[in-house]
Structure 1
Amino acid sequence: MKIDPLAGTLEGVPLPRPSTPPDLPRVDLLGMRIDKVTSRDLCTFVFDELDQGRGRWCVTANLDILQRFHRDLAARLLYDAADLRVADGMPLVWASKLLGEPLPERVAGSDLVPLLAHEAARRGRSIYLLGGATGAALGAARVLRERDPDLKIAGIAAPHFSSPPTRRELAPVLEEIARSGASVIFVALGSPKQEWVCAAIRNRLPRVFCIGVGATFSFLAGQTPRAPVALQRLGLEWLHRLVTEPRRLFRRYVIVGLPFALRLLTHAATRRFLPSRIE
């Protein structure tokens, strides 16, 4: 890991310049500060900020992201550089309740994209879809346009990025987004790659809103089936995804995820009921 604080870079990628932090309540989960907002709260906040000429960058934090944040310094610095972090995972919501500082709801990236796109259409702003599997961004754009015919789609691109991305890979993409005039950038590259790209966008284009949205384009395009709403509400969307993609997700969800979820919940309960045991 190469950190250059004077140049404002991490692994050679520019980190966002310091900005006024949003005045939102937060809860601390294993050191990560999660904003206590609903999806609609976030949507309203984002566009009000854009109207004031202020861009933001949001991390949709799930258990995998929190686990990476907890064990890896580079990841911690990267995720900490974001303006906003929301709970895109029910274990984070459960932990906040055990802690006695409940998050109002799960704020899933897959739900945020249609909500933000609708508000962009209503306010006459444009969106940009970056990343996703082959054909996913185009399919997602079609679905979003069908729902909101007035939606302005400034651009669609699915370039290759290393992890972390190089300056050579980032430069043409940043220029294209800047030329497009988009206000809201959805980045679907998986974490932490999408956060590296969001950091570069935030640094280069301080008046746009950028958010990493994982597999959302594939869900919207119908390439990957999303869990039924009932399973989502029970916090079992991970199980549905595991069944549909067992080879890719078994280690992430079962070998790493379940023990870390138990650790998170135990830590939250201990902080609340047995604080003397927390070092």
Structure 2
Amino acid sequence: MGQDDLASKREFLGLDFDGLDTEGALAWIAARSAESPFAYVITPNVDHMVRLTQLGRDLRRAYTHADLCLCDSRVLARLGRMVNVDLPVAPGSDITKALFETGLEAGDTICLIGGTPAHAARLAELYPRLTIVQHVPPMGLLHDPAARAAAIDAAAAASARVTLIAVGSPQQELIAFEMRRSGKVHGTALCIGASVDFLVGNEKRAPRVVQKAGMEWAWRLASNPRRLAKRYLVDGPAIFPLVWRWAKKRRRT
């Protein structure tokens, strides 16, 4: 898919998803420079869509005002197909990896908001042709406007071509939204969650065959049940009644 597919928005569960797969998203991001007007990319998955129903107006706006909204989850894509919504899959981890490997040029600056100093050091080791600048914000960003403002100032000072916001949702989407409102930041921001852990090798992606089968969630659950059991086994199933109600409303209208 190409950039023309951006015109082909498809609404699902209250968000307008863009019709780009990983390759198309990479091309869209790679076409932008450090001087481009600020834009940000979000990659919602099942967890995000369930959480959206619990967010207030300002946090929902952080999702609905994104410049690029991509489907991160094959499970979400399959649920969409069940109700006749085509959602190309563009996992945030795949986009992040492709950016570092082929989408950026020697000398480009990457600003990492979040992670640990070890993350930045490992990225610099793996990709010496790139300049890595990091800002590590404190915990509790969602309720700390001053800390979010400091993160925005750090991104502005970095003048990076790409800013990676890795502080978890929904605070990373909120920071991206506030970056735009500040008018201080240029280039492209990606809300990447835990993608940097996969990139530096702290965590492993499921084998490709498991990913294509839509079972990466089970792979991750098995690898870290204590951390992920609630997300996948308690919170995640709430997506099914959400889809059912959305489809029912769509039929009526």
Normalising by the smaller structure, the TM-score range is 0.7 to 0.9
Gaps of 5+ in 1: 1-21
2:136 is aligned with 1:158: yes
Shift of residue 271, structure 1, vs aligned partner: 6.7
One-letter amino acid of the structure 1 residue matched with residue 162 of structure 2: V
SS in 2 for 1:178: helix
Separation in 2 of the partners of 1:235 and 1:44?
A: 25
Q: Is the 8 A contact 1:96 1:103 kept in 2?
A: yes
Per the alignment, residue 14 of structure 1 pairs with none
Which residue of the other structure, out of 55, 79, 101, is the alignment partner of 2:85? Answer: 101
Separation in 2 of the partners of 1:102 and 1:178?
A: 36
Shift of residue 142, structure 1, vs aligned partner: 2.8
Q: 1:201 to 1:194 in 2, by over 3 A?
A: same
Which residue of the other structure, out of 76, 85, 90, is the alignment partner of 1:92? Answer: 76
Shift of residue 126, structure 1, vs aligned partner: 2.2
Separation in 1 of the partners of 2:226 and 2:15?
A: 29
2:231 is aligned with 1:252: yes
Separation in 1 of the partners of 2:47 and 2:72?
A: 10
Q: 1:51 to 1:245 in 2, by over 3 A?
A: closer
Which residue of the other structure, out of 178, 192, 199, is the alignment partner of 2:177? Answer: 199
SS in 1 for 2:86: coil
SS in 2 for 1:129: strand
Separation in 1 of the partners of 2:241 and 2:123?
A: 36
Paired residues, what number?
247
Output the aligned Cα RMSD.
2.6
One-letter amino acid of the structure 2 residue matched with residue 179 of structure 1: A
Which residue of the other structure, out of 226, 235, 245, is the alignment partner of 2:205? Answer: 226
2:39 is aligned with 1:60: no
One-letter amino acid of the structure 1 residue matched with residue 82 of structure 2: L
Q: Normalising by structure 1, what TM-score? A: 0.78
Separation in 1 of the partners of 2:179 and 2:52?
A: 21
- Shifted more, 52-61 versus 176-185: the winner is 52-61
Separation in 1 of the partners of 2:124 and 2:172?
A: 19
SS in 2 for 1:61: coil
- Shifted more, 160-169 versus 58-67: the winner is 160-169
Shift of residue 124, structure 1, vs aligned partner: 5.5
C-alpha distance after superposition, 1:67-113 (max 9, x if no partner): 11123234322211222211011122112322323123x21111111
Per the alignment, residue 38 of structure 1 pairs with 21
